Amino acid sequence: MSLPASRRARKTESSLLEAMSELWEAGRYGEAAALYDAGAPATTPLDAAILRARAYLKSDDAPSAINVLEHREPGRGVSAARRSMVLAQSYAHIAKYQAADELFDNAQRIAREVNDDTLLADISYNRAQRYLFERHTEAARELLPKVRAARAEFAQLRALHLESFILEMEGRHHDAARVLLALLARIDPHRGLYTEIRAWATNTLASLARELYVPQAFAEVERQLGGVDWPPDFDDRRFQTLRALGWACALRGDYFNAFRFLRLSSKKATSDAWRAIAAAERAELARCKGEPLWSRQELAEAEEYASAVDWNAVRDDSRIGLLLLADLFVSIDPAKAAYYRSRFAEYENIKAPNFFYRSDPRLEALANYSSGIVDLALDRRKIGLESLRAALSTFEIHLYDWRAGRCALRLYKETRDALYLRIASERLRNYMHCWLGDEVRAMTGSGAMLTPTQQRIYEMLLDGLSTADIVARVARSPSTVRNHIKAILKASHVNSRVALVALSGKARR
């Protein structure tokens, strides 16, 4: 005997929700959304509609998420609380914070009524994200204990995720990297669990390893990439991770793996904008390595992809590709470099509402560096130097050492002010095995390939510090420091400290 129509409908609805939930847990958000769209949305369960709204948020489409939920009955219990929470997230995405706060309050009230600690932690986590949209880090930090209150492993990982995000916004990037290392150490990449947090944390740690000296991050990122592959929904994250890892390799002087990772990143690029960036970064790396013909070939490919992009429609940080192209053309075609820089300036305020770099000084610093070298190439010296100095100041504040060092080197080339050479030498002490180290050695008159510790000691010798002072600063034994000094003198082909200082005297005056 066949089931009554109402029971068949309920069974179908239940199967839809179950299938969507399985896909969601696996991080296959696009497939879960497609299942919902293929059915009869008006009659599907509220929990399925909530998942569909969350999928819209993943693609940064908050208005559609609001539309899905506002036309549904509010429901009861846990479902009602989740509906309010997701609506609150959606309003936060479009900067309607008062509406978001009212909905979060309602969700929290219902969660307390049903006595659901896991749901309360979830609401606190998402409310903290809302505060981060407004860059209210103190308010977000106050919610951390409530997120940690749920004992489930997923909640603990989320708490670490949130803490790292707060630290990033506070400018404590090394502390953020430490928290991300602790987070990823708890995730087995071969089990395929916690996909979203794993992908986000791996991507963020790789990005930090590109900007900061965090040597222990490299092995952890590779460990995570070597596990179960992320679903297609996370291709952008994998693309960003691979390109960041490529530059982390390049800054260690490992150019073979740098190019390998940058080429792998191209395979995960999901748009022509990202393909243009991948090719432009390969062009930049080839140029840094002293391969101009190779660089031009890669640059031609980057331009071809860039020409197909509607940059006005780009809604994420792939717009930085315009800055990369500007930087690459400075020494080849300054007019074209100025064109790409002006295109970026034209579009730089068109950002997704939840783009965390919005008003972030680091993005402005990247733009200032690009503007500076373009203006210098066009003989606009005064404004070019001002832009480079502004970029240097921001990079130093955020401890983006190699970017600060590169900026200082450019300022030294233009001004011959020894202060900038000293800044470059200090900031690049951990990057002496890459092309930046070659530039420092060329400018200081030291042709030696020094280790990071030896580079620090070299700078102290030029400053006139005694062996005892150097021992205190580098926290090494006197015999170790003396051995380093001997190695520095030998590599510099001099026999004394006086001769070493004299060799670099021109640069130090």
Residues in the chain with pLDDT values less than 50: 1-9, 11, 350-357, 506-509
Q: What tens digit of pLDDT does each residue of 358-381 get?
A: 567 888 899 999 999 999 999 999
Alpha-carbon distance of 481 to 468, in angstroms, equals 9
Q: What was the pLDDT predicted at 312?
A: 82
Joined tokens for residue 238: 């994998």
Q: What was the pLDDT predicted at 356?
A: 43
Under a CB-based contact definition with an 8 Å cutoff, are residues 50 and 69 in contact? yes
**Which residues have a Cβ under 8 Å from the Cβ of 411 and sit 6 or more positions away?**
385, 388, 389, 392, 417, 420
Q: Phi/psi zone of residue 378: left (φ > 0), alpha (ψ -120 to 50 degrees), beta? A: alpha
Under a CB-based contact definition with an 8 Å cutoff, are residues 269 and 94 in contact? no
pTM: 0.83
Structural domains in the chain, sorted by start? 1-127 (1.25.40.10), 445-508 (1.10.10.10)
Residues in the chain: 509
What φ, ψ does residue 452 adopt, rounded to 5°? -55, -40
Of 319, 409, 424, nearest to 372 by C-alpha is 409
Alpha-carbon distance of 44 to 448, in angstroms, equals 70
Of 306, 233, 242, 307, nearest to 274 by C-alpha is 306
